[in-house]
Structure 1
Amino acid sequence: MQRIPAGFLPPVAMDVGSDMPMYQQLSEWFRRSISSGQLRPGQRVPSTRSLAHELGISRIPVLGAYEQLQSEGFLETFTGAGTCVARAIPADMTMERAKRASFLSASPPGGSRRTSRRAVLMRSPEATWLANMGAFRVGLPALDAFPFALWSKLVSRHARHLSMEAMGYGDPMGHLPLREAIAEYLGAARAVRCDASQVLITTGAQQALQICAHVLLDPGERVWMEDPGYPGAHQALRTAGAELVPVPVDAEGIDVAHGARVGADARAVYISPSHQFPLGMAMSASRRMQLLRWAASNDAWIIEDDYDSEYRFGSRPLSSLQGTDTHARVIYIGTFSKVMFPALRLGYIVVPPDLVPDFHAGRDAIDTFSSMLYQSAMTEFIREGHFARHIRSMRTLYMERRVAVHDAIRRYLGDRLEVIGTEAGMQLAGLLPPGVDDVAVSRRAASMGVSVRPLTPCYIVPPERGGLILGYGGASLADIDDGVRKLSLCL
């Protein structure tokens, strides 16, 4: 026999002062709970002994109520499994549940109710291309090549030996051993200048952006935004009340001179200099120097998003902008979502020393701290050398998948997709012919199980040509070939 599911029993309403006998009150309560859907068909209910004890009454009225409900078909008993709500509820009871569901889903009288302006800003257009895990989902790493057995072993080890201190409230800045490991890694691999006291652990890069926006900016202050740029940054900055100033990018990255003309009074700038999202170019040395000089002269902040800099194919990974900053104007953001897996929800911020107290308070205000179990396991993953080995392995794999995407595009799409930004990362962008609606193409592809992201929503100023972003990190060679073939049908 199939196992009967357990469930939470809603609070039982009993009136000891009522003239109605207790067994009748209890019977009526069960009928209402079943007809309203609070108790589901097949859900196990407490034994008569435990329910009587919980209600503080004699077992006799509970026995009487259960017998009555069984005779009416509301409850049924199975040997060895106890008493449960009858699996075959009468049709009129189903109708009652349907009425209740209709009531709950109906709009309240008077139309929609007002929410905050921030809630409106957080909304985004329906993104059907994010509804599946098919080929080309942007930001998805090679989960099929992740060392699950090793990672599970580390997590299990720390779960078995979890101390009372680790089970309590953690430091808003994060687990100190992990912060030390991150500072050491960033210094060696990204030329970031910091120590553990400057590293703040976050629940992913998106939360890092939100903390930066709330700590650095007052509502109404202006921020340069790469155009096109990362939609998640648009959202984080706008919900903090910032006014976005679109600044175009070219082959050298963000156009600093243009930004200085249209947003001289900007309080901050958001950039992804090592691998611009979504077009893929790296910011040139001259532009980096221009931007650092502008920030220092205008008392402005630079938010550097270094989301996937580990994966560069034409040369060694570029050094961080933070490493060349001599005026402590750069706030550096990184994440483990692209190297490890997105559900890990671990990211970090490197904060200038004098801003640490404010960022500490900002992190504490948002959700206090990240999971200590995963922080501990991640510390060991780095310290034992698994992190560096995994990056080297993934760099080779992504290079192979990048070549496969290029070959498939040439084979199936020809000149219908002009590929750009292929030197680094886990995705590439391509421009569509003039007049082609990239959002419509993405939605049609999603209906065929292919998850390509349109380029247009990444812009603040609408572009002349639409395009597509293809994430190849999480796609096998077979998925890549089949995905581009299906994409050709959409075009």
Structure 2
Amino acid sequence: MLLTNLKLDQQAAAPLYTQITDAIKKLLYNEQLITGDKLPSVRKLAAALQVSRTTVESAYNQLVADGYLQNEPKRGYFAAALAGLRKRSDAPVTQSIEPPAVRYNFANNYIDPASFPTKLWRRYLNRALKNKDLLAGYGEPQGETALRRTLAKYSSAARGVICTPEQIVIGAGVQSLLQILIDILQPDITGIALEAPGFAQAERLFASHGWQVSHFSTEQLEATLPRLLYVSPSNPYKGRSMSPQQRLALLRWATQQQAYLLEDDYNGEFRYFSRPVSSLQGMSDGSTVIYLGSFSRLLLPSLRISYMVLPPLLLERYRQLGHLYNQTSSTIEQLALADFIDAGALRRHVKRLRKLYSSKNVLLRQALTEIFGSKIIVRAYESGLHLRLAVATSLAAAELAELALHNSVRILPVYDSNGTLPEILLSFAGIQENDIRPALLRLKQAWF
């Protein structure tokens, strides 16, 4: 295969994995790789190119995240349905290409700014700025004590998390906390399996540290799985929460295998037709579950504050390494958030958001039915900030996303769908209510 004959330049400024991704993109653009073509296994390509498996894995994972490849568990990597939508070109893939303008955004990386209480938040920031003693240094490496105390109370009341302030580590985003976790777990654990469809940014981070990264299903818990499983029990990408039976099975598996569950409680507060399900961590004795919480959707994505609750054993390991880390989250914002939560402002804000997102959820489903009829099947919608849809078409999910983008609408393709129909995700957090119907009309025009 052309790819196994690729010549890498060890002296080039571009990293080896970037050279591999560029080569694969060029093969796709020139249609030397077409939809469904299987790529060499990580082991085979690494041997052919005389590079590490981590280098190849990083390249493949980047291409999966960007939509050029599909990763099918236990089968391998395949070319996604993109090449046929592009004009044949001999231009290098690194050439600058102006992306299509996006008028309607169903992606999950932003919120409607009108939903955020800007004036109220500014009041708490101003109050934090008066605390000159705490602002004069770099801040506590583990996170400000005031915020950790507040988060222990809040996470208990809102999500059923059972912890002390000492177990909480604060960072600027989930990825900064995962970096710390990797250092804590190595060398005892160097493999992780993520609940499908996975989390591309996390996968790249673990792979870049030489970890073996794979996907798994909660319906198939095997002894051969790695000793760290990444799960999101509220399942925003599936649109529904894990069943009690699945949760108990995970906890039993972790205990039996002396393993850990990494619980990403992304959007766990948002459940629209029943009460939010408590955290997996709160169901356990706290020894096998590592809990991740974030404020990127509760408040603003630009507010870079996330937190991690460590089990007692891992807390001891963190204390041995904690002095090596600087705090990555702003002290001012930490103090403001502590006051914001203590005053009950966050609780009231979440209540308003539930009402807003519930309304958008219903409006979006109604508009889908009216505009698409039987051409759309809503797979799940009860929790999170997405609807998961199946589309009655012969096109692949990646083709649907590409066509939508060329019609100024951004959607999220689902690459791990096990059904016969392609599936997509529509996030309604950022799109305004009066834009929902015009956006869906453009999708219909693009697809049918």
| Short-chain TM bin | 0.7 to 0.9
> Is the partner of 2:221 in helix, strand or coil?
helix
Bigger CA radius of gyration: 1
Structure 2 unmatched ranges of 5 or more: 1-8, 18-53, 68-97
The equivalent residue for 1:312 is: 271
CA 1:266/1:385 → structure 2, altered by over 3 Å: closer, same or farther?
same
Q: Distance in 2 between matches of 1:482 and 1:364?
A: 53
Q: Distance in 1 between matches of 2:148 and 2:60?
A: 33
The equivalent residue for 1:246 is: 215
Residue 311 of structure 1 and its aligned partner are, at CA, apart by: 0.9
Q: Distance in 2 between matches of 1:167 and 1:121?
A: 44
Deviates more, 1:207-216 or 1:378-387: 207-216
Residue 410 of structure 1 and its aligned partner are, at CA, apart by: 0.8
Equivalent pair of 2:100/2:408 in contact (CA under 8 Å): no
Q: Distance in 1 between matches of 2:335 and 2:209?
A: 32
The equivalent residue for 1:273 is: 233
**Which aligned pairs between 1:65-80 and structure 2 lie closer than 5 A?**
none
Equivalent pair of 2:184/2:314 in contact (CA under 8 Å): no
The equivalent residue for 1:155 is: 125
The equivalent residue for 1:228 is: 197
Residue 179 of structure 1 and its aligned partner are, at CA, apart by: 0.7
CA 1:296/1:220 → structure 2, altered by over 3 Å: closer, same or farther?
closer
The equivalent residue for 1:472 is: 428
Q: Aligned to 2:105, which of 109, 130, 135?
A: 135
The equivalent residue for 1:290 is: 249
The equivalent residue for 2:62 is: 123
Question: After superposition, what is the alpha-carbon deviation per residue over 1:29-69, rounded to whole angstroms, capped at 9, x for unaligned?
Answer: xxxxxxxxxxxxxxxxxxxxxxxxxxxxxxxxxxxxxxxxx
Q: Aligned to 1:359, which of 318, 337, 358?
A: 318
The equivalent residue for 2:224 is: 264
> Is the partner of 1:342 in helix, strand or coil?
coil
Q: Distance in 1 between matches of 2:328 and 2:157?
A: 26
Question: After superposition, what is the alpha-carbon deviation per residue over 1:326-365, rounded to whole angstroms, capped at 9, x for unaligned?
Answer: 2610000010001001000100001112322433566665
> Is the partner of 1:419 in helix, strand or coil?
strand
Equivalent pair of 2:236/2:383 in contact (CA under 8 Å): no
Equivalent pair of 2:162/2:286 in contact (CA under 8 Å): no
C-alpha RMSD of the superposition: 2.9
Deviates more, 1:149-158 or 1:333-342: 149-158
Equivalent pair of 1:135/1:479 in contact (CA under 8 Å): no
CA 1:453/1:181 → structure 2, altered by over 3 Å: closer, same or farther?
same
Amino acid at match of 1:200: V
> Is the partner of 2:409 in helix, strand or coil?
coil
**Which aligned pairs between 1:393-412 and structure 2 lie closer than 5 A?**
393-412=352-371
CA 1:193/1:220 → structure 2, altered by over 3 Å: closer, same or farther?
closer
Q: Distance in 2 between matches of 1:337 and 1:361?
A: 29
> Is the partner of 2:438 in helix, strand or coil?
helix
CA 1:323/1:126 → structure 2, altered by over 3 Å: closer, same or farther?
closer
**Which aligned pairs between 1:145-184 and structure 2 lie closer than 5 A?**
145-159=115-129, 161-184=130-153
Q: Aligned to 1:205, which of 174, 194, 207?
A: 174
Q: Distance in 2 between matches of 1:154 and 1:126?
A: 38
Identity of aligned residues (%): 28
Amino acid at match of 2:230: Y
Amino acid at match of 1:403: V
Q: Aligned to 2:114, which of 144, 153, 162?
A: 144
Answer yes or no: is 1:385 the counterpart of 2:344: yes
Residue 143 of structure 1 and its aligned partner are, at CA, apart by: 2.1
Count of residue pairs brought into register by the alignment:
371
Equivalent pair of 1:122/1:239 in contact (CA under 8 Å): no
Amino acid at match of 1:134: Y
Q: Aligned to 2:377, which of 418, 422, 425?
A: 418
Question: After superposition, what is the alpha-carbon deviation per residue over 1:142-175, rounded to whole angstroms, capped at 9, x for unaligned?
Answer: 321211111112212323x141432312222101
The equivalent residue for 1:486 is: 442
Question: After superposition, what is the alpha-carbon deviation per residue over 1:78-110, rounded to whole angstroms, capped at 9, x for unaligned?
Answer: xxxxxxxxxxxxxxxxxxxxxxxxxxxxxx997
Equivalent pair of 1:202/1:208 in contact (CA under 8 Å): yes
Answer yes or no: is 1:435 the counterpart of 2:394: yes
> Is the partner of 1:469 in helix, strand or coil?
strand
Q: Distance in 2 between matches of 1:386 and 1:206?
A: 27
Amino acid at match of 1:478: N
CA 1:319/1:131 → structure 2, altered by over 3 Å: closer, same or farther?
farther
Question: After superposition, what is the alpha-carbon deviation per residue over 1:371-404, rounded to whole angstroms, capped at 9, x for unaligned?
Answer: 1011011111101111000000000000000011
Equivalent pair of 1:229/1:278 in contact (CA under 8 Å): no
Residue 139 of structure 1 and its aligned partner are, at CA, apart by: 4.4
Residue 370 of structure 1 and its aligned partner are, at CA, apart by: 1.4
The equivalent residue for 1:339 is: 298
Residue 282 of structure 1 and its aligned partner are, at CA, apart by: 1.3
Residue 265 of structure 1 and its aligned partner are, at CA, apart by: 5.0
Amino acid at match of 2:221: G
Q: Distance in 2 between matches of 1:392 and 1:464?
A: 38
Q: Distance in 1 between matches of 2:256 and 2:309?
A: 22
Amino acid at match of 1:474: G
> Is the partner of 1:470 in helix, strand or coil?
strand
CA 1:433/1:232 → structure 2, altered by over 3 Å: closer, same or farther?
farther
Amino acid at match of 1:345: R
Deviates more, 1:336-345 or 1:291-300: 291-300
Amino acid at match of 1:175: E
Question: After superposition, what is the alpha-carbon deviation per residue over 1:413-464, rounded to whole angstroms, capped at 9, x for unaligned?
Answer: 22222212211111111122353122222123223332211111xx3x9875
The equivalent residue for 2:26 is: none
Q: Distance in 2 between matches of 1:219 and 1:432?
A: 44
Residue 136 of structure 1 and its aligned partner are, at CA, apart by: 1.2
Amino acid at match of 1:282: S
CA 1:363/1:443 → structure 2, altered by over 3 Å: closer, same or farther?
farther
> Is the partner of 2:104 in helix, strand or coil?
coil
Equivalent pair of 1:455/1:466 in contact (CA under 8 Å): yes
Q: Distance in 2 between matches of 1:384 and 1:213?
A: 35
Amino acid at match of 2:127: R
Residue 123 of structure 1 and its aligned partner are, at CA, apart by: 3.2
Residue 130 of structure 1 and its aligned partner are, at CA, apart by: 11
> Is the partner of 2:135 in helix, strand or coil?
helix
> Is the partner of 1:137 in helix, strand or coil?
coil
Structure 1 unmatched ranges of 5 or more: 1-107, 249-253
CA 1:365/1:431 → structure 2, altered by over 3 Å: closer, same or farther?
farther
